[in-house]
Amino acid sequence: MNRTIGIDYGRARVGVAASDPLGIFASPLETVPAAKIIEYLQKYAAAETVERFVVGWPLNLDGRPAAAAADVEVFLKRLRKAFPGVPVELEDERFTSVLAHRAMIDGGMKKSDRRDKASVDRISAAIILQSYLDKKK
């Protein structure tokens, strides 16, 4: 079954989400240490067919790339080298952390659990992917 993978890349941690086989819904998967993200994606791709990656692209409010874009560029090179046949799309990631916190509150998550940055990263990846999937419809 084909899956689209959403990625919220950070220097320390990477949030990962996956679409359902029909490409309608995004679900958070894991938060992976940045140093192990390519290895994680390779293992995932060995079990599931990955048809594309959607990576959060950090932009400032004025639409210009944020400082973190340089880190994402380095990651994109590694991703494209590891998966040469899989397309990579960029998706605006502005406000995803705010939306992730809102989703956690709306979902009834306890305040102590909302402080877990790994949860925020996973949910942010799902928001990035869902935004892409919604535009694709």
31-89 pLDDT, tens digit per residue, is 999 999 999 999 999 999 999 999 999 888 888 888 889 999 999 999 999 999 999 99
Whether this prediction's pTM lies above 0.75 is answered by yes
**Count of CB atoms situated within 10 Å of the CB of 86:** 17
Task: Report the percent of the chain where pLDDT is more than 70.
Answer: 82
The domain 2-136 is placed in CATH, from the list 3.30.420.140, 3.40.30.10, 1.10.3290.10, 2.40.10.10, at 3.30.420.140
Mean pLDDT of 108-117: 62
Min mean pLDDT across 8-12, 52-56, 88-92, 102-106 is at 102-106
In sign, the C-alpha dihedral spanning 95, 96, 98, 99 is: positive
Domain residue extents for the chain: 2-136
In this model, does residue 114 exceed pLDDT 60? no
Residue among 21, 9, 81 nearest 50 (CA) = 21
C-alpha 84/C-alpha 1 separation (Å) is 20
- pLDDT of the residue at 63: 83
C-alpha 24/C-alpha 118 separation (Å) is 24
- pLDDT of the residue at 94: 75
Q: Which two tokens stand for residue 71?
A: 């880190």
